[in-house]
Structure 1
């Protein structure tokens, strides 16, 4: 029975030893086999791998492309307009041995802290160059600036065993204390442009109104001139007709003009007239006027017609 227990213990120890000596490397990882802190083997191919149990340890690192968001920093381009820049980078562990030697047990966290410092330094250096202005940073030329930042950061990150794949500027804004002044300047420019447009519109409206007023004045003057000409011609024709009628029958013409005078004098409420009894105005109302000759009002004496 004692021998059986010993055999079982030995089998268990062997099983545990075998189990402890086997590890799996995923296709998304790289592994280092460490013995007392020293690198003994590098496992980059996926599959099963072995180590000495209880003596060697395995440290795994992500082999995929990782993302790092940098801290927001202020840069001052050549035109002295400060900008707040927020960037991010894509990187991967290119040399896992060099990476372990550079960061030690700190791992990814320590590497990202050091890489963030490298990126911030390169962003300040590139964006603060002599020929780089804020307009350049805010224009399409920023693509070339990001490429320069990536290349310089890649050279600096090689000592960490990292490969910087890409660097992008997420946001490029003015500092908070400068935003209000910038917005006020933009509002003033827009208001000035609006005032100029309103002034040009009023000037055009004044020209249109002046042209319309002149056209109306000219049209009315021409209409008055034509009306006066027509009125003069009509008066001349009327006087001609009156003259012809008076020459044809003077008595009838005097009678007709008297009737017109009666019609105008006795219209509406104007039915009371004050005059002498022998006034010539009512000659045609007298019975003897119908029997014999008499003078017509404002006309020479002519025989009365029956």
Structure 2
């Protein structure tokens, strides 16, 4: 009986020893095997591994790309126009041995504040060397790549690789928004006033040109009318003169008829004249003098 219990105890101890000496590294992990705090092996391949219980310490790190969200940071670009920048990064543990030596037992939770300080320092340095317009325009992509490259070189000392850096938001501080809006409104109103003034000036030029064209056209038309009228009068007088030269009696008769037509109009006009007046010479007889 005692022998059975002893055997059972040995089996249990052996099972516990085997269980404690076996560990599994997931495909999403990297592991370090430590001997009294010193790294003796790096396990990067997933699978079943063995250790000496009580002597070997196994430390596992996530091998996936990890997020790093920073707190909003106020930066001052080269044009002294302050901006509140909200950025984030993606990173992974590239060298677990260097990472262990840099952060110690604090692991990932201890690395995040250090990475955030590196990222904030690079944000201030890069964005402080350009105008705010570059931060708010399409040039932001080149700036983000520059921040990533500079932060990557700093993070290598931690055994960390900065995969990407992105600026989520770049806005003016709340206390500056109203003043900025007022300045933008004043600028737009000034531009509108300039456009209105230029429009009025152009309209005045067009109106003056149109008035000048009207005067020139009217003057030219009056000139041509006077010329045509003078030529017509000259032609008429020439015809009358020729007719008078051919038959003075007929010309006098025509002139009398024209006078009758003009004076004997309907209406309330009254003519006082003697019956033997020369005016009615061609109404007295079939012929004149």
So what's the TM-score if we normalise by structure 1?
0.71
**Structure 1 pair 210/126, CA: closer, same or farther in 2 (3 Å)?**
closer
Matched residue of 1:210: which SS?
Answer: helix
**Structure 1 pair 186/279, CA: closer, same or farther in 2 (3 Å)?**
farther
Matched, 1:174 2:165: no
**Structure 1 pair 96/184, CA: closer, same or farther in 2 (3 Å)?**
same
Larger Rg: 1
Partner of 2:80: 80
Q: Which has the higher contact order (CA 8 A, sep 6+)?
A: 2
Matched residue of 1:85: which SS?
Answer: strand
1:96-121 Cα shifts (integer Å, max 9, x gaps):
34544554554323321332133224
1:15-63 Cα shifts (integer Å, max 9, x gaps):
5653453322123311234689886754223221023568866442112
Matched residue of 1:81: which SS?
Answer: coil
Residue 5 (structure 1) shift: 8.8
Mapped to 1, the partners of 2:18 and 2:252 lie a distance apart of: 154
1:273-303 Cα shifts (integer Å, max 9, x gaps):
3424526344544xxx236x6xxxxxxxx34
Partner of 1:232: 230
Matched residue of 2:27: which SS?
Answer: coil
Structure 1 residues 55-134: aligned runs within 5 Å: 58-77=58-77, 79-100=79-100, 102-103=102-103, 106-124=106-124, 127-128=127-128, 132-134=129-131
Residue 93 (structure 1) shift: 1.8
Structure 1 spans left out of the alignment, 5+ residues: 294-301
Partner of 1:275: 272
Mapped to 2, the partners of 1:250 and 1:163 lie a distance apart of: 125
So what's the TM-score if we normalise by structure 2?
0.74
Matched residue of 2:182: which SS?
Answer: helix
Residue 72 (structure 1) shift: 1.0
Residue 9 (structure 1) shift: 7.7
Structure 2 spans left out of the alignment, 5+ residues: none
Partner of 1:46: 46
**Structure 1 pair 258/27, CA: closer, same or farther in 2 (3 Å)?**
same
Q: Is 1:85–1:173's contact at 8 Å kept on the other side of the alignment?
A: yes
Q: Is 2:144–2:167's contact at 8 Å kept on the other side of the alignment?
A: no
